[in-house]
Amino acid sequence: MDNNQKLSVMEKIGFGMGDAACGIVYSSVTMFLTYFYTDIYGLSAAAVGIMFLATRIFDAIIDPITGMLADRTKTKWGRFRPWLIWFAIPYAVLAVMTYTTPDFGYSGKLLYAYISYALLMLCYTFINIPYCALGGVITRNEKERLSAQSFRFTISSASGLMVSMSTLFLVDWLGKEDKQLGFQLTMAFMGLIAIGMLIFCFLTTKERVTPIEDNNVSVKKDLKCLLANDQWCIVAIITFFSSMAGVMRSSATLYYATYLMIGGISSTSGTAMKSAFVSTSVIGTILGAMAAGYFAKRFTAIQLFKNINLILFAIGVIMFFVPPVWLSVVFPLYFLIGFFHQMYQPFKWNMMANAADYGEWKFGRRATGLSFSGNLFALKLGMAVAGALVGVCLGLLGYQAGVDVQTPLATKGIIGLLTIGPAFSYLLLWWLMRFYKLDNKMMEKIQEDLLTRQKSVENHN
């Protein structure tokens, strides 16, 4: 292990700022976009669900292309960092456009939603894939890499807290009675903050791990190596179900808080109650990300990941049977879900970096961008499936936007989407970990072999 590749606290903070910038829009999409489209923009729940799923078709092509382009990018600033600067402003502009409600008919508004949302996710791809790949090349030191991921999720969770606590209040304050304008102005404010964070990340981080030059590289060879990487395949499946669990719960949260906890849409509790409930989970995510670093020093990452998912499964099942009006029980349970869900995130993303190292060790070819792009596709596919599932289920169960009381079937569906659906995803994650083999001992061997190869090439040149 190369102990010279240690990271300063400033660089870890800067690295975390990059994910915080991504998280500002990601959080707004997972927490508010489904609700915005159905209750403010005016689309049906089923149409929104189909849109989320349909727009992911393009990711099957765009994500690997972005990863391969990032791997082949060569600048004096590195392969991945420049992408953060190139797409920062388009990212903020598209966030505003997505939350803009044009004065079209229903079909026109649906088409606009498809286009604006697809472009936003495209720009998110152009930033997030290179950013995530950056986490695999800032150091070979696995402990430092895990520490950086812990900083990352602590800071990104804090940005998520900012979004959850401030968005609905900003919408009311900036838009007054016009919630459509309120959402638009709020996202403009969030977008400016995201631009600043991306610039800070670019300025404070450094790419230290460079691939061994290979003049015989090709797209076909890169894809073949990636698909033959059994550990990458396992991590991609884990990423899919983890994303699905988080987004399914987040997408159902506002419906749960609006219609089941506070006595319907006309309740005087309104914005304060909804913001408090959303923020409860986000506060848990901040503390969970901070706790990850502490527990990682005392237990193996694989065992922690497995046990955390079992705990999340149990909490979800318990919460399914708790009446939503039992606030003194519901709030602590929702806090614990956020806490444990975020606690395992640094381990999951470090698993992605380990899978990229494993691929280089096994095949002699490092394609960090492609490796992470595949995982990001799995993540976004999980988002899409979860968003589609929420929208379609609400439509089939008789959900009606704006009514004071939902039907018993729609009520039970909202509860299930918030609790029991994610719970079974966590149970699958626990089971899938039996196939992940990159434990501490294996990774030490891989890193030693890779450093030996690198030094051999340098001495030969």
DSSP string, 119-182: HHHHHHHHHHHHHHHHTTTS-S-HHHHHHHHHHHHHHHHHHHHHHHHHHHHHHHHHHTT-HHHH
In a domain? residue 158: yes
* Per-residue pLDDT tens digits for 176-208: 888 889 999 999 999 999 999 999 999 999 998
| Closest among 433, 421, 234, 260 to 337, alpha carbons compared | 421
In a domain, 137, yes or no: yes
Q: Which two tokens stand for residue 207?
A: 């790419």
Residue 409, pLDDT > 80, answer yes
Q: Report the pLDDT value the prediction gives residue 236, as an integer from 0 to 100.
A: 93
Question: At 284, which amino acid appears?
Answer: G
Q: Is 4 among the domain residues?
A: no
Domain contains 459: no
The most confident of 85-89, 120-124, 285-289, by mean pLDDT: 85-89
Domain contains 461: no
Q: Let me know if residue 71 belongs to a domain.
A: yes
Neighbours of 308 (CB within 10 A): 23
**CA dihedral angle for residue 302, residue 306, residue 308, residue 311, rounded to 10 degrees:** -160
Round to whole Å and give the CA distance between 425 and 432: 10
Rounded to 5 degrees, φ, ψ at 176 are 55, -120
pLDDT at res. 430:
95
Using 50, 70 and 90 to split pLDDT, how confident is the model at 310? very high
Q: What mean pLDDT is reported for the chain?
A: 85
How many other CB atoms are found less than 10 A from the CB of residue 427?
A: 19
**In terms of residue numbers, what domain contains 251?**
9-206+218-454
Residues in a beta bridge with 78? 75
Cα(368)–Cα(365) distance, rounded to whole angstroms? Answer: 9
Q: How many domains does the chain have?
A: 1
Q: How many CA atoms lie within 13 A of 216 on its CB side?
A: 3
CATH number of 299's domain:
1.20.1250.20
CA distance to 33, 195, 197, 404, per residue, from 88 (Å): 21, 5, 9, 41
Vertex 288, ends 16 and 84: CA angle to 5°?
15
Q: Residue 405 pLDDT > 60, yes or no? A: yes
The pLDDT value given to residue 212: 62
C-alpha separations of 67 from 119, 335, 356, 376 in Å: 18, 35, 13, 10
CA distance 33 to 28: 6
Computed on alpha carbons and rounded to an integer, the radius of gyration of the chain in Å comes to 22
E-state strands within 308-351: none
Q: For position 214, what pLDDT does the model report?
A: 57
Percent of the chain with pLDDT over 90: 32
Assess if residue 2 is contained within a domain. no
End-to-end Cα distance, the chain: 22
Cα(131)–Cα(134) distance, rounded to whole angstroms? 5
Exposed, middle or buried by CB within 10 Å (0-12, 13-18, 19+), for 108? exposed
> Would you mind telling me the total number of residues written for the chain in this entry?
461
Q: Which residue has the tokens 């240690």?
A: 6
Q: Return the pLDDT at 270.
A: 59
Is the confidence at residue 81, as pLDDT, over 50?
yes
User: Has residue 139 been placed in a domain?
Assistant: yes
